[in-house]
Amino acid sequence: RIASMTKSFTAMAILKLRDEGRLSLDDPAERFVPELRRWKGPTDDAPRITLRHLLSHSAGFPEDNPWGDQQLAINEEDFTAMLERGMAFSTAPGTAYEYSNYGFAILGRVISRVSGVPYRQYIQREILDPLGMAATPLEPAQVDDALRARGYRWEDARWKEEPPLPDGAFGSMGGMLTSMSDLSRYVAAMLSAWPARSGAEAGPIRRASLREMQQVARTRPASVSRTQGTGALQLFSGGYGYGLRISQTCDFGHVVAHGGGLPGFGSVMQWLPDYGVGIIVFGNRTYAGFGGVANEAFSALAATGGLVPRQFAPSPALQHARSEVLALLEGWNDDRAEALAAVNLFRDRSIDRRRAEFAALHEAVGSCRDTGAFLPLENPLRGVWTLDCQRGTLRAEVTLAPTVPPLEQHLEVAQVPPGSVQPVPTCAAAGVQ
């Protein structure tokens, strides 16, 4: 049972309904769940709760683990009665992150109300079936007893089997069961949304919506922890997307993940959009945590050289700028230079000064040839590369402006000191040791 990893499936369903024009993320949740109309916010100036608040854990609800787990099996009538009793807010909606199972239970009801079919049926038809996830139900009783993993807790110096919680009105926050092969299909679909590109869509929702889920919608405080293997400090900053945790790390940049814990189970799915690689870990022990295990596995992959970042393809304009920089080094021409320049380039540093700098470089290093490859691109309009010259090496850096055609707003060419290594931006370079 993958527990709270179910939340991203719920978020995907909400975005599918949004893409179909059946709701807006900025709709007040009470439009679909009328019991919320009677809720009084924590302050007189608090806004009404929106679907975006619920998706990003910023609705102002108090953190509710593990209380929420024990609500999993309640029926729809009891859930309605709970909604009618109201909410004890911890913060004003839209002001802070606080994890809420209750909020995703409400989203499950929104899906049912908007689609006109029960949540479980909608998820099966619109998300699981298109992904080919034939072994992913929300009710333990639907799984062949010989195939279902048992959950355990360690107590009184022995393993005790946990009785499976039935699926109920809170199922949209954590009821799902799946197999490794099925969840691999899901993670692969998330990774397939990167990079943004033209071409046919595979579904079950648009690639742009999949990427939207995997970006920060509500920030969380940054944290620092030590890796299990080396003890090195690791910085995590980021927040919550839609049903997914998003972080930026020194080692891997953009990291997307979510864990799941219920009595008897603990699991995590974690992937690196910049590398196209994901890791899934399942465990059948109560609230077992595997985030550190996934991090160590990524580090091990990186140490072998088997983890290679995806590369942006440089734009034709950037390729053209690159060839023109080499031409200007070999023989400066004012008209050629001005044809490349955005309006700011020679205002920031005059064309006379630029001409003199290029002449001095040519005098110092002689004729140059292009090495043929960019260093890793930040985006298709910004590039760094080296040139091999008769008496040394040059490093060229270009950033193109948002004009049509894209022109050079930033241009730097400098000698690389003999024996130096080209710098790669890291957290250590920014002062994180």
3-state secondary structure 153-199: EEECCEEEEECCCCCCCCHHHHCCCCCHHHHHHHHHHHHCCCCCCCC
Confidence (pLDDT) at 418: 87
Q: Residue 344 in contact with residue 409, Cβ under 8 Å?
A: yes
Helix (H, G, I), strand (E, B) or coil at 15: helix
Stretch 268-278: mean pLDDT = 97
Average of per-residue pLDDT across 71-94 = 96
For residue 147, the one-letter residue type is: L
What is d(CA 36, CA 93) in angstroms, rounded to the nearest whole number? 13
Contact (CB, 8 A) for 54 and 11: no
- For 250-355, strand residue ranges (E) read 253-262, 265-272, 277-283
pLDDT digits (tens, 9 = 90+) for 106-162: 999 999 999 999 999 999 999 999 999 999 999 999 999 999 999 999 999 999 999
177-203: pLDDT as tens digits: 999 999 999 999 999 999 999 999 999
- pLDDT, one tens digit per residue, over 314-370 is 999 999 999 999 999 999 999 999 999 999 999 999 999 999 999 999 999 999 999
Question: Confidence band (pLDDT; 50, 70, 90) for 429?
Answer: very low
Q: Measure the N-to-C terminal CA separation of the chain; round to a whole number of Å.
A: 38
355 touches 387 (CB < 8 A):
no
Give pLDDT, residue 422: 56
Per-residue DSSP letter, 93? T
Structure tokens belonging to residue 94 = 């839209």
User: Does the pLDDT of residue 424 top 90, yes or no?
Assistant: no
CA atoms of 279 and 105, how far apart (whole Å): 27
Does the pLDDT of residue 206 top 70, yes or no? yes
d(CA 432, CA 130): 44
Q: What's the pLDDT band for 228 if we cut at 50, 70, 90?
A: low
Using CA atoms of 296, 298, 299, 302 in order, give the dihedral in degrees to the nearest 10: 160
Burial track 351-377 (b if 16+ CB lie within 10 A, e otherwise): eeebeeebeebbeebeebeeeeebeeb
- Average pLDDT of the chain is 94
pLDDT at position 412 is 98
pLDDT at position 229, please? 63
> pTM value?
0.91
